[in-house]
Chain A
Amino acid sequence: MIIAKVKPLEEIKDMVKDYPKVLNVGCAGCTAVCLAGGQKEVDTLNTQLNSSFKADKVSFQVDGFTVERQCEMQFLAELDKIAGQYNAFLSMGCGAGVQFLAERFPRIPVFPAVNTSFVGVNKDIGWYEERCSSCGDCVLGITGGICPVTMCAKGLFNGPCGGPEDGHCEVDKDIPCAWVNIYERLKEQGRLENILKIFPARDWQNQIQGKIILEPYKKRYIK
């Protein structure tokens, strides 16, 4: 799922310091799962902001409201009745949610309180790792389930480069070399021929903003 990390307090304060009454909108979806922007995080951040601005003697008040998901207008609709009371919104949803929020309330400045970081997995509570770059052209079947775009620091398709040592990437000793892993995985499955062939140059997808309308639903939206 989407993993995000809350921004440092100073950065958030700097964004909202000129708005005396702010609503911090949380998200019970991805950012709640990765402990970045769910209700508890909203409450905690609000406590910090209120007390910090009070100590600075700046007139400021932030309330919280957590919606199911910020990436669906149906759930953002819950804010319609109370939006008018606020000068600005903080959003603890991912970048997509922030934009939907801004789209729904175009006259209210919206500020992101988290940095949307990557599409990844929950290794364990509080520990998240990137796995997918949303490249739009998945080759995981060929590379034994290890993504060369995301897990190789150089995104090589005919790796490894000359850098790996003791199975780790030249960039960081704690990062395994994706191609060493791909090699071992395919070797174990008896599918090494996959990487003995040359992967030709890719036609990179997602170079413009993506949009998918599923075929069976096209007639609903396209006249």
Chain B
Amino acid sequence: MKSGSNLEKILSQGKFAVTGELGPPQGSDINIIKEKSKHLRGMVDAVNITDNQTAVIRMSSWAAAIVAIQEGLEPNYQMVCRDRNRLAMQSDILGAYALGIRDMLCLSGDHQIFGNHPYAKKVFDIDSMQLISMVKKMRDEGKFLNGDDIVEPPKMFIGAAANPFGDPYDFRVFRLAKKIEAGADFIQTQCIYNMDIFRNWVKQANDMGLTEKVYILAGVTPMKGVGMARYMQKNVPGLDVPDWLIKRLRGVEKKKQASEGIKICCEQIEEFKEMKGIAGVHIMAIEWEQRVPEIAEQAKLLPRPKV
């Protein structure tokens, strides 16, 4: 065991893992976290705690992660490279581990221009690949980035993101290989709508032997309706929303569109369960956490295994 986390145990035992997502509040009210946690408790094996997502300021992910632990959830502590330099990162990782956090997701982060402080100075002292290497070095060698020894090194289960749909398409699986080499233990993908492209990417990953070296969790986001689908197709970078999806949602009356979106999501999850190389699913029901129990139920993911 690298970290001994719940997520690690489930994955290493070959069980189909389920992770969720929780965005911290834009203020210091922890009751909001408690409210969201209620819906997710028992439905997921770990829950991602986002880090100033879309460069909008929210309670720091480490703080929200600790609240999540108090609420009976295992947090997957997200850290982006946009806001912190290597000093702050290593310092935060020590603190996070000391307070019980065991899973970590290393990300680049959305550019600050998207957020509510667009003129802030960007950091990007190290990129996500270098962050993965650094966390691995802290865990396996017990050393800081500069080579100094760490007293009581943090032992994190290291996660990274993968986008099977981004440009340049041919390079994506090689980037996955790089992340594995850097030290990623598990991967969560961007939310998938175009299953053809995704199947192709997984096949390449299988052929290169990558799926034997890392646990891949396929990302899904249920569509609340046609409006959301169209918005995401147009505005979210790196997302591939196919036209058939929009057509299918449009084919249902408005008040039934949410259920149809969930139905599509569950169909995807069924396929992921059978897909070679896929070790689990990452459900990103952002600001829709209350529907996660329904999805987990409908996709026959319950009860979550106790390890």
Contact = CB atoms under 8 A, between A and B. Distances in A.
B71 interface: no
A157 B81 CA distance: 12
A161 B171 contact: no
Given A154-B127, A156-B124, A165 B167 contact: yes
Given A154-B111, A156-B124, A199 B130 contact: yes
A159 interface: yes
A147 interface: no
Interface stretch (A21-29, A98-106, A112-120, A166-174): A166-174
A126 interface: no
B238 A154 contact: no
A177 B82 CA distance: 17
A165 B238 contact: yes
A198 B129 contact: yes
Contact of B238 (A157, A158, A162, A202): A162
Interface string A109-137: 00000000000000000000000000000
Contacts of B145: 201
A154 B190 contact: no
B124 A155 contact: yes
Contacts of A201: 86, 125-126, 130, 133-134, 145
A162 B166 contact: yes
Interface in B186-234: 190
B129 A158 contact: yes
**Majority DSSP secondary structure for residues of A touching B:** loop
A95 to B, nearest CB: 18
Interface residues of B, number: 38
A48 B177 CA distance: 60
Interface in A141-166: 153-166
Contact of B127 (A153, A159, A164, A171): A159
The contact size tier of chain A is 20 to 34
Contacts of A177: 167
Contacts of B82: 154
A184 B127 CA distance: 21
A196 interface: yes
B2 to A, nearest CB: 20
Contacts of B126: 201-202
A161 B108 contact: yes
A83 interface: no
A35 interface: no
Nearest to B164: A162
Contacts of A196: 174, 177-178
B218 to A, nearest CB: 15
Contacts of A156: 108, 124, 127-128
Given A158-B127, A159-B127, A201-B133, A180 B167 contact: yes
Interface in B45-92: 81-82, 86
Given A153-B111, A170-B237, A171-B113, A165 B128 contact: no
A89 interface: no
A147 B228 CA distance: 37
CB-CB nearest 6 A-B residue pairs: A170-B237, A158-B129, A162-B163, A161-B108, A164-B167, A201-B130
Interface of A: 153-167, 170-171, 177, 179-180, 183-184, 196, 198-202, 204
14 contacts: A153-B113, A156-B124, A159-B127, A161-B128, A165-B167, A165-B239, A170-B111, A170-B114, A177-B167, A180-B167, A198-B129, A199-B129, A199-B130, A200-B130
